[in-house]
Amino acid sequence: MHTRKSVALAAAALLFFCLSVPSLSAQDIRGRYLIQHDYRPSDGLARIGWLSDYYPGLLGTPGDSKVYYFEGSKPGGTLFIGGGTHGNEIAGIMAAVLLIENLKVEAGRVIVVPNMNNSAVSHQEKESLLPSYTTRGPAWISIQSPSGQRFFKYGSRCTNLAHQGVPDPAGGYVHPDSNEAPLPAWEFRNLNRAYPGRIDSGLTQKIAYAVTQVLIREKVDIAFDYHEADAGGRLANMMVANPKNIGTAAAALFDLELDHGLSLKLEPSNMEFRGLSHREWGAGTDAQAFLTETPNPGMVENAPPDVDVVNDPKNPLGSRVAKHIYSTLAVARVYGESNPGRMILMSGLPAYEDLASQGLGPYLR
Ligand SMILES: [Zn+2]
């Protein structure tokens, strides 16, 4: 039985405990590990969430990352855009940032994750990867915007080994659902070999699981994964589409050629090759799944270590960003034409030709 005195003592002890132990908010836990990206959302932003909202095991890890939501006043479909699967493929990250800083949505919803693998921008891996995957270029890029010079992180292809929590497999990496020969061991830390992801493995696999949950729980109609490739290689200037939505891709590429003179190659996902976003998102969720590849001068095999990945005369960053964004707009338009109740109407973005010729600077805040 409690006496009045013991209750008072207990209350005093509880008050002392609360005052002396600072409570750690989710924000504090995240802030301890994450790169502080300088992204300045447009007035059209509805709210910001986190990947850890979809898999709480990411909370407080370097794999957590911000999720930006734009919502139209009219109903429609949901478009997902991911940049930064590979932290050195800067046009994908900057296309997502340009969207965040300019986008307005009239109908439907747009969800943007600019740094899908936030651990990959925390380091610059130069050992043990293939030549075109080795990080070349600066740790940060700078772009002059109307409000002054802005800085953006340039990182690596894969998750930081120090963050993965599990060593790279000694015998090479095999996706759990794959029947193919082992890939190089570091592919274990490649987010685009990890889908649909799992929670009993490394950080990369947990990030993949969270992204898949975003697509499922948000009932995403169209999902884009923005990449870059060796500027002189086969993959550059390509759209890869899940076979189930290859027709949408073909119609969109036809429009891009007609409207902007932009010519992209088209390939279907290889359904035998497991773990890639367009393959697993398309098979495991209701989303139509696409991946776009732009030519990055920093991924050319013999590029110098100080290669300029922003102001390349042949493939400047603005033109690469324009290719990602306008490919996405073309797909959303084609999808809306055949699914009128799931239209996604967007505005506020610079014209393709202006972005390609003037670069990103004038269109960042
Ligand atoms: Zn990539």
- Per-domain residue ranges of the chain: 38-156+208-363
Ranked by mean pLDDT, the top range of 7-16, 134-143, 295-304 is: 295-304
How many Å apart are CA 323 and CA 338, to the nearest integer? 23
Residue 89 CA to ligand 1 centre (angstroms) = 6
CB atoms within 10 A of CB 27: 8
Q: Is pLDDT larger for residue 305 or for residue 351?
A: 351
Instruction: Give tens-digit pLDDT for 54-63.
Output: 999 999 999 9
Residue 230 CA to ligand 1 centre (angstroms) = 10
Q: What is the pLDDT of residue 23?
A: 57
Residue 126 CA to ligand 1 centre (angstroms) = 16
Residue 131 CA to ligand 1 centre (angstroms) = 14
Residue 277 CA to ligand 1 centre (angstroms) = 10
CB atoms within 10 A of CB 91: 30
Residue 81 CA to ligand 1 centre (angstroms) = 14
Nearest to 360 by CA among 101, 140, 89: 101
Residue 2 CA to ligand 1 centre (angstroms) = 64
Instruction: Give tens-digit pLDDT for 70-120.
Output: 999 999 999 999 999 999 999 999 999 999 999 999 999 999 999 999 999
Q: What is the pLDDT of residue 301?
A: 85
Beta-carbon contacts of 215 under 8 Å, excluding residues fewer than 6 positions away, are 80, 223, 281, 285, 287
**Taking each helix axis from N to C terminus, what angle separates 317-338 and 246-260, rounded to the nearest 10 degrees?**
120
User: Rounded mean pLDDT of 198-202?
Assistant: 98
Residue 253 CA to ligand 1 centre (angstroms) = 20
Look up residue 182 and give its amino acid.
P
Residue 21 CA to ligand 1 centre (angstroms) = 44
Q: Is pLDDT larger for residue 236 or for residue 302?
A: 236
Look up residue 357 and give its amino acid.
S
Q: What is the assigned CATH class of domain 38-156+208-363?
A: alpha beta
Residue 12 CA to ligand 1 centre (angstroms) = 57
Nearest to 221 by CA among 67, 79, 75: 79
pTM of the model: 0.92
Residue 189 CA to ligand 1 centre (angstroms) = 13
Residue 24 CA to ligand 1 centre (angstroms) = 35
DSSP output for 292-324: EEEEEGGGSTT--TT--SSS-SSS-HHHHHHHH
